[in-house]
Structure 1
Amino acid sequence: MTNKMKIVELEIAGHDWKSLRCGCGRSAAHLAGDLLTLARAQSHSDVDRVALDDHVMVPPGLLVEPALPVVSVALAALADETSPKARFTFLKTLLVLAGGGEGQTFELDRQGRDLPVECAAAAQSGIWLLYREVFSGPTMGAASYAYEILTLIDDDEERLDRVRIAAGARLSEDLR
């Protein structure tokens, strides 16, 4: 094992994926490999081979059990050495999960869980990684997604406004 992807590997290994019910109906054990593949992806085609949507949420956008550990893995990917395309994909996924999707499945309701709130709280633990991404992310898309996530999880409106102004052209026009 090389030093690359060490943080992501450690985070993936810290979750009991096989005990989680995946959005595809199987155990989420296969997600560990998919997430590592995504984190290691170097090209658009490598990234495109990994689809998370039907695994962390089900139509019409309801979060399922693996969503919470995927938030932690996405944050680990931001702290690790991931390619620009992989970072963008992790940020895009994190935006949906931190925003709570369209809610959660009935099964989670019956368990008394509030997965959208849990995902937002987990994303909040990576707040400074997201601020770093706004200012040093590899693309405008990555910086913009990071800023959008921050608007969901950071209650400090004054800081968000200062960051928006300071980031300027690093953010997409609709966020400036």
Structure 2
Amino acid sequence: MRLVEMEAARQDWKGMLCGCGGSAEHLARDLLRLAGEGTDAESARRGLDLPELCRNVAAQGLWLLYGEVMANRSLVGAGTAFEILTVVEPDRARLHRVRELAADWLPVCCRTGLCDDDLWALDR
């Protein structure tokens, strides 16, 4: 849980635009709430799968993530959005095409496929 809190604190949530039209500041609270729910023993007994829940929530913002990659506002923003897409995007051909189009402003790990989550794709 402390790792999730630390990672959430590193992000500039106020500076990010959310699909709701406001800042993404509320997403940090939502993420932390889901991480407490997903790690306690009672939730595990109920079969709550935190990674799957997070994938489903992130997949709802698929086009926002693509928008962030293609906007080329910052290397960190584009890279983070692309890394999330490697986990939640089921259309691998679309993902590879965006990688080609955005290669000039993506971090090396995203350009080369080092950040791809192919294990998740194989689980599907």
| TM-score category, normalised to shorter length | 0.5 to 0.7
Whole-Å separation in 2 of the counterparts to 1:107 and 1:170: 43
- Matched with 1:32 is none
Whole-Å separation in 2 of the counterparts to 1:107 and 1:167: 43
> Displacement of 1:78 after TM fit?
3.2
Which one of 58, 62, 72 corresponds to residue 123 of structure 1?
58
Q: Which runs of 4+ in 1 moved over 3 A?
A: 76-82
- The CA RMSD over aligned residues, in Å, is 3.8
Paired positions, count: 98
- Matched with 2:90 is 155
- Matched with 1:132 is 67
> Displacement of 1:175 after TM fit?
1.3
Q: Mind listing any 5+ residue stretches in structure 1 that lack a counterpart? A: 1-22, 25-51, 57-72
8 A Cα contact 1:104 1:116, kept in partner: no
SS where residue 18 of structure 2 aligns?
A: helix
TM-score by length of 1: 0.45
Would you tell me which structure has more helix in proportion to its own residues?
2
Q: Mind listing any 5+ residue stretches in structure 2 that lack a counterpart? A: 112-124
> Displacement of 1:171 after TM fit?
0.4
TM-score by length of 2: 0.61
Measured against aligned partners, the alpha-carbon deviations of 1:13-69 in whole angstroms (never above 9, x if no partner) come to: xxxxxxxxxx68xxxxxxxxxxxxxxxxxxxxxxxxxxx616x8xxxxxxxxxxxxx
Whole-Å separation in 1 of the counterparts to 2:52 and 2:87: 11
Whole-Å separation in 2 of the counterparts to 1:81 and 1:137: 20
Counterpart code for 2:55: A
Whether 1:53 and 2:16 are equivalent positions in the alignment is no
> Displacement of 1:115 after TM fit?
2.1
Whether 1:78 and 2:18 are equivalent positions in the alignment is yes
TM alignment of 1:103-118, pairs within 5 A: 104-118=39-53
Measured against aligned partners, the alpha-carbon deviations of 1:91-140 in whole angstroms (never above 9, x if no partner) come to: xx7xx99xx9xx73323112221122111101101000000000115211
- Matched with 2:80 is 145
Counterpart code for 1:155: P
Structure 1 pair 81–136 and aligned structure 2 pair: CA distance change class (3 A): farther
8 A Cα contact 1:108 1:115, kept in partner: no
SS where residue 47 of structure 2 aligns?
A: coil
Counterpart code for 1:53: E
SS where residue 78 of structure 1 aligns?
A: coil
Structure 1 pair 78–171 and aligned structure 2 pair: CA distance change class (3 A): farther
> Displacement of 1:81 after TM fit?
5.8
Counterpart code for 2:18: L
